Chain A
Amino acid sequence: MTILRTRSTKLIALAAFGASMLLGPAAEAQRRNNRNNTNGAETTYRDVGSQGSVGGVGTESQDIVAMSDAMMRDLLSVPQLLNRATPARIIVDAKYFTNESSEIIDKSLITDRLRVGLNRNATGKLVFVGRAYSAAVEEERGLKRDGVTDSGTTGLTRAQLGADYRLVGRIGTRDSVDPKSGVKSRYSMYTFEVLDMESGELVWSNLYEFKKENRDNVVYR
């Protein structure tokens, strides 16, 4: 009876040892299989105004959509710009929209979206001047005037359009980092203004601001 009990105890100890050797890797393998990215993920369309699964403290698509929509709505309510017998001419591009921030950004993403939105919603009450394309216009004008091409169907003008107004603005950020907790925080402020290109008067101003925080995993701190 004693021999039997000793043998069974041996077996239990060996089984416990064996189980620890086998179950450890098995549990890890199961854990790996349970990861939600094991098999990758198909490309899916996302709403550009929604927060994506990958985010940082910088400007993201939902910020660009929200700020350009907000600025467009506000600009379309400025009487000085919209309620004129002769539609005002305006340049909306990134040239004088300066990035003084710590954020690497393609400013044209914002100004292009704003211009397109304004152009589609202003219904002829504003004339948009494509100053960024003036070289292309000048090239075509030269061809027409040199007789290389005919004059087209809209007729010749004495010169390219002069602008009454131009979008100007600035991107600024304020960053802070807590090295202990690993929290990174960024306050971003986008200032939008419309400048009278003759008098220098700022006829409209608005801003869009947000603050974001995140914290990286401890293994990266």
Chain B
Amino acid sequence: MFRRPILPMIALAVAAIATSAASQTEDPGLVDLKKRRVSEGERNRVLNDMEIGARTFWLGDLAGARQSLDDAILGINTVYANDPAAEKARSLWYEEGSKNFKGEPYERAMAFFYRSLLFMREGDYQNARAAARQGLLQDAFAEDNQARADFALLMFLDAWASHLDGNADLRDQALAELKRFRPDFPGIKPQDDTLVLVETGTAPRKLADGVNHSYFVLRRGKGFTENRARVVLGETTLPMYPMEDVYYQAATRGGREIDGVLQGKAQFRNGANTAGSTLLNSAVAYQDAAGGSSAVYVVGGIGAMASFLGSRAKAQADLRSWSTLPDTIHVLTFSSKALTDKDAKVVFLQGDAPVAGLDKTATVQKDPEGHFFIFARSR
């Protein structure tokens, strides 16, 4: 007699109910991202880890953010020397998006940015500095010399981590480097022990362009007007310094090596299509005029094959992008003596005018070493 495995079924049912109950309390966007992480597999693993990492960070789940960002960084640091998926992306028959996602330099740098913040929250300032430096290295792949390794935000984090670690030499070195790119930044005062970091706007967008969409252009995010921020601490209002324009970082990367490969694919596609059409048209015209012959069929066959091959060549550039990144990141440091409450109010501005409905109240967080952090984002 067939016996049903009752206990495993009950266990599964209980697990399903528990999962369902947990999901109900989770952020719906996060639940969706976690599902995507499973269903989209290795190809989008880094992208989904980036999205989940940033989302969990802003939801205050620092352990979850750490896990996702560590996984993302593992993927970013993976060297695809002989990877089949990478080879596929170079082949004529697959688009660039078939490769495992690692992101453009600005996206990779931002993964290290969030990881650096997490290390700081844990009081591990030395690894926070290391993460900021690794992020800066990602930006070193910019083609344009002037835009290479100019991620001022990461230089600032390098300096701030060294400051919190009590290493004034390294702090001053990083600040001197930062001064080259942000000469008006007021710097870090010796007594500063509180960092306010605020994000405004939405992520840069990758838009397909060119013949066969063989490259992309970057455009500023849409749907926001705020570009400045202020922090209100009791009766005191402090302006924040706009340290980094993420869109600028994305847009000044310059040409990519892969663009040459994609242009080659586009040329092949167009050439094969043109040659195929010409041969087929010639064959048809010759057949109409002179009747069928072996040469006509051979030419027609080659033309059809060329058209077929041309139609199968995939020259599209990879448009996947980290959608939850901000447009601009603002910073402010001061002594915790200025803190008057367990919360701080953040006001978002367009120029000098507050943007209605965006004010946020952010909790003052304290790390294990007794330093303070206030994080907020407009959207």
Residues of A with Cβ closer than 8 Å to B? 5-6, 9-10, 12-14, 16-17, 20-21, 24, 28, 32, 35, 37, 54-56, 58, 98-105, 107, 175, 177, 179-180, 182, 184, 214-221
Which of A13, A20, A21, A221 is close to B298, meaning CB atoms less than 8 Å apart? A13
With contacts defined as CB atoms under 8 Å apart, how many contacts are there between chain A and chain B in the complex?
Answer: 115
Whether B305 pairs with A216 at a CB distance below 8 angstroms is no
B124-144 to A contact mask, C-beta < 8 Å, 1/0: 001101110110010011110
Whether B170 pairs with A100 at a CB distance below 8 angstroms is yes
Whether A98 pairs with B126 at a CB distance below 8 angstroms is yes
Min Cβ gap A140→B in Å is: 23
Q: What would be 16 A-B contacts, judged by CB atoms less than 8 Å apart?
A: A9-B297, A12-B298, A14-B301, A16-B305, A17-B304, A20-B305, A20-B309, A28-B93, A56-B79, A100-B129, A175-B137, A179-B141, A184-B137, A214-B79, A220-B102, A221-B258
Which of A179, A184, A214, A219 is close to B261, meaning CB atoms less than 8 Å apart? A219
Which of A12, A104, A216 is close to B81, meaning CB atoms less than 8 Å apart? A216
Given A56-B78, A214-B79, 10 more pairs with CB closer than 8 A: A9-B294, A10-B294, A13-B300, A24-B312, A99-B130, A100-B170, A101-B130, A175-B137, A182-B141, A221-B258
Min Cβ gap A126→B in Å is: 27
- How far is B261's CA from A5's CA once the two chains are assembled, in angstroms? 43
Whether A104 pairs with B134 at a CB distance below 8 angstroms is yes
Whether B257 pairs with A221 at a CB distance below 8 angstroms is yes
Chain B residues, CB < 8 A from A99: 126-127, 129-130
Whether A217 pairs with B305 at a CB distance below 8 angstroms is no
Known A9-B294, A14-B301; judge A177-B141 contact (CB<8 A). yes
Whether B86 pairs with A220 at a CB distance below 8 angstroms is yes
Chain A residues, CB < 8 A from B140: 177, 179
Which of B81, B86, B305, B312 is close to A17, meaning CB atoms less than 8 Å apart? B305
- How far is B258's CA from A99's CA once the two chains are assembled, in angstroms? 35
- The chain B residue with its CB closest to the CB of A106 is B127
Residues of B with Cβ closer than 8 Å to A? 73, 77-81, 83-84, 86-87, 89-90, 93, 96, 99, 102, 115, 119, 126-127, 129-131, 133-134, 137, 140-143, 148, 167, 170, 256-258, 261, 292-294, 297-298, 300-301, 304-305, 308-309, 312
- How far is B74's CA from A54's CA once the two chains are assembled, in angstroms? 11
- How far is B257's CA from A3's CA once the two chains are assembled, in angstroms? 54
Chain A residues, CB < 8 A from B298: 9, 12-13
- How far is B297's CA from A5's CA once the two chains are assembled, in angstroms? 12
- How far is B91's CA from A24's CA once the two chains are assembled, in angstroms? 13
The 5 A-B pairs of least Cβ separation, nearest first, read A13-B301, A9-B294, A102-B133, A221-B257, A99-B126
Min Cβ gap B168→A in Å is: 13
Whether B294 pairs with A105 at a CB distance below 8 angstroms is no
Chain A residues, CB < 8 A from B137: 102, 175, 177, 184
- How far is B296's CA from A13's CA once the two chains are assembled, in angstroms? 10
Whether B80 pairs with A220 at a CB distance below 8 angstroms is yes
- How far is B96's CA from A214's CA once the two chains are assembled, in angstroms? 22
- How far is B377's CA from A148's CA once the two chains are assembled, in angstroms? 52
Chain B residues, CB < 8 A from A37: 84
- How far is B91's CA from A32's CA once the two chains are assembled, in angstroms? 13
Chain A residues, CB < 8 A from B126: 98-100, 107
Chain B residues, CB < 8 A from A214: 79, 81
Chain B residues, CB < 8 A from A177: 137, 140-141
Whether A35 pairs with B130 at a CB distance below 8 angstroms is no
- The chain B residue with its CB closest to the CB of A35 is B84
Known A9-B298, A105-B127; judge A217-B86 contact (CB<8 A). yes
Known A6-B292, A35-B84; judge A100-B167 contact (CB<8 A). yes
- How far is B297's CA from A37's CA once the two chains are assembled, in angstroms? 43
- The chain A residue with its CB closest to the CB of B293 is A6
Min Cβ gap A188→B in Å is: 12
Whether B77 pairs with A56 at a CB distance below 8 angstroms is yes
Chain B residues, CB < 8 A from A101: 130, 133
Whether B81 pairs with A215 at a CB distance below 8 angstroms is yes
Which of B86, B130, B142, B300 is close to A102, meaning CB atoms less than 8 Å apart? B130
Min Cβ gap A189→B in Å is: 14
- How far is B115's CA from A219's CA once the two chains are assembled, in angstroms? 25
Chain B residues, CB < 8 A from A20: 305, 308-309
- How far is B300's CA from A24's CA once the two chains are assembled, in angstroms? 19
- How far is B141's CA from A175's CA once the two chains are assembled, in angstroms? 13
Known A55-B79, A179-B148; judge A219-B141 contact (CB<8 A). no
Residue in B115, B141, B304 with the greatest tally of chain A CB atoms within 10 Å: B141
Chain B residues, CB < 8 A from A21: 308
- How far is B133's CA from A131's CA once the two chains are assembled, in angstroms? 31
Which of B78, B294, B301 is close to A54, meaning CB atoms less than 8 Å apart? B78
- The chain A residue with its CB closest to the CB of B140 is A177
Min Cβ gap A4→B in Å is: 11
- How far is B79's CA from A215's CA once the two chains are assembled, in angstroms? 7
Which of A14, A58, A215 is close to B77, meaning CB atoms less than 8 Å apart? A58
Min Cβ gap B212→A in Å is: 17
